[in-house]
Amino acid sequence: MNGAQDAILLRGLSAVYEGESVPAIRDIDMSVASGDFICVVGPNGAGKTTLLEVINGILPHTSGEGTALGLSISENGDRIRKRIGYVIQNFEIDPLSPFLCRNVVMSGRAGMIGLLRFPAKHDWDVVNRALSLVGMESYASRPVGKLSGGEFQKILIARAIAQEPEVYLLDEPFSNLDIKARGDVDRLICELNRGGSTILMVSHDVGSIPLSCTRMILMDRGRIVAEGPRNEMLQTGEISDLLRCRGSEP
């Protein structure tokens, strides 16, 4: 299996959660070229988050093959994860959380800095630049527990940027954001892609697909059911029909 030219290459990939009999994703064939911006859409429970977790090796796949950045995802979990930025689906932040924004952003670099090494000045420069890119440089010393949903989402994106990854996996990056914050995050993601980063984003909201997205993949019940260029996919109405049918259309 040669995945050297592709940022991500999956062939017949399936994953079953412990104790479950039905695969959360099944027979996934997907190739993401370096520099691509691909959106995976589908209703809740389609397997979108599972797909991201399998790609960065957090969840082991049960059959099929996959490579990320030319490395087998089943054998190089830690190595791959250091080169992939992951923005987790917006989780409920503890309002008393005792972490400052700059430390949360630096924690994104913890893996790549390595064990028994302290962050150097260069690392803090990267953290400050990441905060600046998301417009949160003045929040560096603020506790994350005091942030709004939109601000917190930007910090999570800054955390991924600080990792200086080649690929971004974005899980519902627009969830819980107001219109202005959505616009800010949309611009930011497009800028990252223009800068050469590969982006694989999942969403259940067709209205939030950024214009820079080149290709869309529609998932349902763990399978890829359709894919194609963004504009074509949006025109067919297949996505809207499916989301409406499954009750995920906002």
Partner 1 sequence: MISLPFALLVTATLGSVLAGLSCSIAGVFVVRLNMASIGFCMSHAAFAGAAFGLLVEVDPLPTAMLFATLTAVLLAPVANRAKLNTDVVIGIMFSLMIALAFIFLNLSPGEAASGTALRILWGSIFAVSEYDVLFLSLLSLVMLAFVVLFYKEIIALLFNKKLAQASGINTYVFMLAIVFLTGLAVSFSLKLVGGLLVYALIINPASTAYQFFWDFKKIMIFAPTIGVASCLSGFVFSLETDFPIGASIVIVSALVLAVSIAVSPKRRRRSSASFA
What is the binding site for partner 1 (CB under 8 A)? 18-19, 56, 58, 78-79, 81-82, 84, 86, 88, 91, 95-100, 103-104, 106-113, 115-116, 118-119, 143-146, 156, 159, 163
* Sequential DSSP letters for the chain: ---SSEEEEEEEEEE--TT-SS-SEEEEEEEEETT-EEEEE--TTSSHHHHHHHHTTSS--SEEEEEETTEETTT-HHHHHTTEEEE---PPPPTT---BHHHHHHHTTHHHH-TT----HHHHHHHHHHHHHTT-GGGTTSBGGG--HHHHHHHHHHHHHHT--SEEEEESTTTT--HHHHHHHHHHHHHHHHTT-EEEEEES-GGG--TT--EEEEEETTEEEEEEEHHHHHHH-HHHHHHHHHT---
Closer to partner 1 by Cβ: residue 103 or 132: 103
Task: Write the burial class of residue 89 (CB in 10 Å: 0-12 exposed, 13-18 middle, 19+ buried).
Answer: middle
Closer to partner 1 by Cβ: residue 42 or 108: 108
Closer to partner 1 by Cβ: residue 147 or 217: 147
Closest distance of CB 232 from partner 1, Å:
32
Closer to partner 1 by Cβ: residue 16 or 233: 16
Closest distance of CB 227 from partner 1, Å:
25
Closest distance of CB 224 from partner 1, Å:
23
Closer to partner 1 by Cβ: residue 103 or 214: 103
Closest distance of CB 10 from partner 1, Å:
18
Closer to partner 1 by Cβ: residue 197 or 248: 197
- Which amino acid is located at 10 in the chain? L
Closer to partner 1 by Cβ: residue 106 or 217: 106
How many angstroms separate the CA atoms of 137 and 133, rounded? 8
Closest distance of CB 82 from partner 1, Å:
4
Of 196, 172, 200, 197, nearest in space to 185 by CA: 172
Closest distance of CB 30 from partner 1, Å:
19
Closest distance of CB 214 from partner 1, Å:
25
